[in-house]
């Protein structure tokens, strides 16, 4: 009851300089003696609960629970280790093939980050990427992924693998830094890679969260030949407005749609509508998370251009990817 009264009181607008300002609060609660018996530990547990409240969307309250302490300690450990992961060489860029649905030809890949810690083992991206975002470490890490991907794509060409387009994810934090344009153009210049062989993947949430003018940055990048893709399409309420406004080359059909496209007629209708709409705007469609041939067959029939997923391959190390591409080309030539 106390927490709710505090939230209501803080939500009342405050007039400052003739303007109304609203505030919200995230409240963490720890109780004596249930959660701790000393003031110091109670405050620490209340602080942990408060951060849990922030992760639940802010403007709410959460009670401490022992499991939160475990989660907080894990996050603290990840944050500390992630700060040194880049310099220790623990981060690796892997590549998941993107394949044309009609021909089976590998067009390129998505550059994906993997973290192998000597003691923690393989740390999943869904666990460490949010930590990198919250701490700002995503900026140097993102720069490393971009530079590595550009060098690798150029190296593959020089080794006879031919031009392969690589897609690289960009976060809102990266867009909020003024040097994003310089980082991208420098990576292309240093590697010698054709700008048309790099595709920047953005999300709807990025457009909502990024500071500055991300649309202008995207248009400038596209002006020099860099491709632009909208990731996780079909999950947001305002995605349609972004498709018509942004300078897009590709939309990536979200895996939540792909997962049920061959079993749920309503989901198949949604996929069909997205593909028709994208094509009417001159935008290609890539389906993410294809795990079965029935999924691939239906999306092929609907006119989807590309796919990626475990049906083809997961994320591969650079040398494994090169071998995979060469083997697949031999199979296609032999008609197998």
Looking at the fold, whether 161 and 55 belong to one and the same domain comes out as no
Looking at the fold, whether 299 and 237 belong to one and the same domain comes out as yes
Q: Could you report the per-residue pLDDT of 112-165, keeping only the tens digit for each? A: 999 999 999 999 999 999 889 888 899 999 999 999 999 999 999 999 999 999
Q: What is the CATH number for 24?
A: 3.30.70.270
Bridge partner list, 227: 199
Looking at the fold, whether 159 and 42 belong to one and the same domain comes out as no
**Owner of token pair 């999943």:** 124
Looking at the fold, whether 50 and 159 belong to one and the same domain comes out as no
Contacts of residue 190, defined as CB under 8 A and 6 or more positions apart, other chains included, come to 147, 150, 151
- Looking at residue 44, its pLDDT comes to 85
In a domain, 184, yes or no: yes
The tally of domains found in the chain comes to 2
Looking at the fold, whether 291 and 145 belong to one and the same domain comes out as yes
- For residue 23, what are the domain limits? 2-64
Q: Output the six-digit token pair for 269.
A: 């209708």
Band the pLDDT of 184: cuts 50, 70, 90: very high
Higher pLDDT, residue 68 or 255: 255
SS3 229: strand
Looking at the fold, whether 13 and 143 belong to one and the same domain comes out as no
Looking at the fold, whether 46 and 160 belong to one and the same domain comes out as no
Q: Using only the alpha carbons of the chain, give its radius of gyration.
A: 23
In a domain, 261, yes or no: yes
Provide the 10 A C-beta neighbour count for residue 125: 14
Looking at the fold, whether 118 and 33 belong to one and the same domain comes out as no
- Looking at residue 210, its pLDDT comes to 66
Q: Report how far residue 66's alpha carbon sits from residue 122's, in angstroms, rounded to the nearest whole number.
A: 25
Q: What is the CATH number for 119?
A: 3.20.20.450
In a domain, 78, yes or no: no
Residue among 81, 91, 85 at smallest CA distance from 112: 91
Among residues 23, 45, 64, the one where a domain terminates is 64
In a domain, 18, yes or no: yes
Contacts of residue 237, defined as CB under 8 A and 6 or more positions apart, other chains included, come to none
Q: Could you report the per-residue pLDDT of 87-112, keeping only the tens digit for each? A: 999 999 999 999 999 999 999 999 99
Task: Supply angle C-alpha 16, 19, 20, rounded to 5.
Answer: 85
């Amino acid at each position: 009851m106390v927490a709710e009264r505090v939230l209501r009181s803080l939500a009342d607008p405050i007039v400052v300089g003739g303007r109304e300002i609203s505030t919200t609060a995230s409240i963490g609660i720890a109780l004596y003696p249930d959660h701790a018996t000393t003031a110091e530990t109670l405050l620490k547990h209340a602080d942990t609960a408060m951060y849990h409240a922030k992760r639940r969307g802010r403007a709410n309250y959460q009670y401490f629970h022992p499991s939160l302490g475990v989660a907080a300690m894990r996050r603290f450990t990840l944050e500390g280790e992630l700060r040194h992961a880049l310099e220790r060489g623990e981060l690796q860029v892997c590549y998941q093939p993107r394949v044309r649905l009609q021909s089976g030809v590998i067009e390129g890949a998505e550059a994906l980050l993997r973290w192998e810690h000597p003691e923690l083992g393989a740390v999943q991206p869904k666990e460490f990427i949010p930590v990198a975002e919250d701490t700002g470490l995503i900026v140097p890490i993102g720069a490393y992924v971009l530079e590595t991907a550009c060098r690798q794509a150029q190296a593959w060409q020089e080794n006879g693998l031919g031009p392969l387009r690589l897609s690289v994810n960009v976060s809102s934090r990266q867009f909020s830094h003024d040097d994003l344009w310089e980082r991208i153009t420098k990576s292309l210049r240093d590697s010698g890679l054709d700008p048309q062989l790099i595709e920047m993947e953005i999300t709807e949430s990025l457009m909502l969260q990024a500071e500055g003018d991300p649309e202008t940055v995207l248009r400038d990048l596209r002006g020099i030949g860099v491709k632009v893709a909208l990731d996780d399409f079909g999950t947001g309420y305002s995605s349609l407005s972004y498709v018509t406004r942004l300078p897009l080359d590709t939309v990536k059909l979200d895996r939540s749609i792909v997962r049920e496209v061959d079993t749920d007629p309503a989901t198949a209708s949604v996929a069909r509508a997205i593909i028709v709409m994208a094509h009417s705007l001159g935008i290609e469609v890539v389906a993410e998370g294809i795990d079965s041939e029935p999924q691939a067959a239906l999306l092929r029939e609907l006119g989807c251009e590309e796919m990626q997923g475990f049906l083809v391959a997961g994320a591969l190390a650079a040398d494994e990817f090169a071998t995979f591409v060469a083997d697949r080309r031999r199979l296609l030539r032999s008609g197998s």
